Amino acid sequence: MTATAPWTTEKPTAMLVLADGTVIEGKGIGATGKVQAEVCFNTALTGYEEILTDPSYLGQIVTFTFPHIGNVGTNEEDIEDLTPAARHGAVGVIFKAEMTDPSNYRAIKHLDAWLKARGIIGMCGIDTRALTAWIRENGMPNAVIAHDPSGVFDLATLKAEAKAWSGLEGLDLAKVASSGQSSQWAQTPWVWNEGYGTLGSDDAKYHVVCLDYGVKRNILRLFAGLDCKVTVLPATSSTEDVLSLNPDGIFLSNGPGDPAATGEYAVPVIKDLIKTDIPLFGICLGHQMLGLAVGGKTAKMHQGHHGANHPVKDHTTGKVEIVSMNHGFAVDSNSLPEGVEETHVSLFDGSNCGLRLTGKPVFSVQHHPEASPGPQDSHYLFRRFINLVREKKGEAALAER
């Protein structure tokens, strides 16, 4: 099957070739070349720069269901990956409409030029509704996205490459997405017309150690905004590496790939850290690996959760929050053993979105509480974590909301 945009007679300069042989033609944007990856769709209406720089999207091609992407251009403040020189994030992108010139006071670069600079291969001019419907029916496919301004493609080779790619299952990408070296973080959240602030060394009350599996900057900013000095450690750090820093709290970050693959080296460390009774908090991949560490299982999802409009219920309060999601694997609720409580659940499909350990200062969530779609529905989770730290120090709790 070959699908071409019906409203154009231009020679296609981009191809999306699925593993089943489906070929979708369009107009190339961004970087040239080709890459094998998994295709997902994201339903967010805003935040495309944050999405494309989220390390959790490494190994994926993001199809935006919102038709007009690029209107606000790009800037240097909304990048989420910790090491932008390595350009960790989505490897491909698909839009329905062509990008327009930016119309936003914060824009400093056109999205197309930004995509080229980051090496993200893209295409536009296709029916993204049809592709989204295909993914909902058939699941997230392995594929090759290719962009060549000449319009010359070797379809036989592209089909073979799409079919041959092994996919994300069994793939450890945290080592790739991790910053790879220890670093300190002190930047605080963005304030209108002021930008980002800096936590002074004399203002830091707590020390949080982050195991970086592909951490997002805004997570670190929210910790700093709660008076936390943050030390970021590589994904492969040992128990001794963490404990030698004498942390008040430990954070397991988000990241890409299969949690079971990353868990081969990360889970033994997490098990050791749980035994210390140091407050521990995980997000996304960190949540999934905590689930593995306590005896649960993870599984690949059919279409995943990617968007900023997902309703999640917090069983500990009975409240519903609208959250940002980005994951293709999930913790199996039925696999959680005694002593592990399910705290959050997706109201879309009932999948697990949070857990905590009975009698221990350890919890995690699947969604991204720093991404602010609600706009601050989930920020309480950071205060919940800091309250565990404060409790251990004999300090009064902060108001969660």
Active-site annotation, residues: 284, 368, 370
Pairing assessment for the beta strands 2-3 and 23-30 based on DSSP bridges? parallel
Burial class (CB in 10 A: 0-12, 13-18, 19+), 151: middle
Nearest-angstrom CA–CA distance, 22 and 161: 13
Which residue's structure tokens are 């094998």?
Answer: 36
Kind plus residue range of the DSSP H or E element containing 383: helix 380-392
Residue 7: which residues within 8 A CB-CB, separation 6 or more? none
Nearest-angstrom CA–CA distance, 88 and 155: 28
Centre a 10 Å sphere on the Cβ of residue 109 and count the other Cβ atoms it contains: 15
User: In this structure, what token pair is assigned to residue 154?
Assistant: 């070797």
Which residue's structure tokens are 């300069």?
Answer: 13
Residue 217: which residues within 8 A CB-CB, separation 6 or more? 79, 80, 81, 82, 187
User: In this structure, what token pair is assigned to residue 184?
Assistant: 């300190």
